[in-house]
Structure 1
Amino acid sequence: MAASTRSQVISLYKIMLKESSRFPSYNYRTYALRRVRDAFRANREVEDPKAVERLMDEGEQMLALIQRQTFRRRKRSPLQRIKYYRLLQKSILWRFSVASGFLR
């Protein structure tokens, strides 16, 4: 891996950790931090430039998702959160998340 690519990967890793630590909920925060660390550890030995580029793109997409989620959570008032979670409970996503163990 080239030095510039290595620095970009490390920078992405640090930003993802920082953004993941902004989740107000302990469960979401620890889950996001664990997923980021595990993903980077699993791909530590990748040397192919095309594979590194693909993984960087995936990481940037995940970073955007984390940033959207943390911004939404910080922006909502407690009453809005209650309404949001009631709506979420009715949706298929909630059932899938509980069944897959995501919200345990």
Structure 2
Amino acid sequence: MATPPARKAVLGLYASTLQTAKSFSSYNFRTYFVQRTEDTFRGMQAEQDPIKLSQAYNEAVKELSVLRRCAVVNQLYGGARLAVEEQSDAPTRGDT
């Protein structure tokens, strides 16, 4: 019988995965992986079966190592920032 991972272990894995997802330099990849991380761990939170929870946890650990490698490559070849990311110092209509 598989024992489910401890709550602290799951929360630590969630924090590490979310931090790695936020480290992508590309806006599109970053938002995708942050959303995917939140969805994955919401599913783990709702899971009641200890065997399925253990399997999901082990899969998330494997995905974290892949995500870390992808984030490093993305930081190397990040490219220019998108207009969505730009912060402008120009006043908006309501600032006059």
TM-score by length of 1: 0.65
Post-superposition shift, 1:44? 1.5
The one of the two structures with greater contact order (alpha-carbon pairs below 8 A, sep at least 6) is: 2
Q: Which residue of 1 aligns with 2:55?
A: 54
Paired residues, what number? 76
Post-superposition shift, 1:76? 4.1
Q: Which residue of 2 aligns with 1:13?
A: 14
TM-score by length of 2: 0.70
SS in 1 for 2:47: coil
Partners of 2:34 and 2:64 lie apart in 1 by 12
Unmatched tracts of structure 2, length 5 or more: 80-96
Higher mean C-alpha deviation, range 39-48 or range 16-25: 39-48
Give the aligned residue type for 1:24: S
Partners of 1:49 and 1:68 lie apart in 2 by 29
Partners of 2:23 and 2:40 lie apart in 1 by 19
Question: Deviations for 1:62-97, whole angstroms, at most 9, x for unmatched residues?
Answer: 10111010111223486xxxxxxxxxxxxxxxxxxx
Unmatched tracts of structure 1, length 5 or more: 79-104
Q: Which residue of 1 aligns with 2:24?
A: 23
SS in 1 for 2:11: helix
Partners of 1:60 and 1:52 lie apart in 2 by 12
When the two chains are superposed, the root-mean-square deviation of aligned CA atoms in Å is 1.9
Higher helix share: 1
Identity %: 28
Partners of 1:34 and 1:77 lie apart in 2 by 20
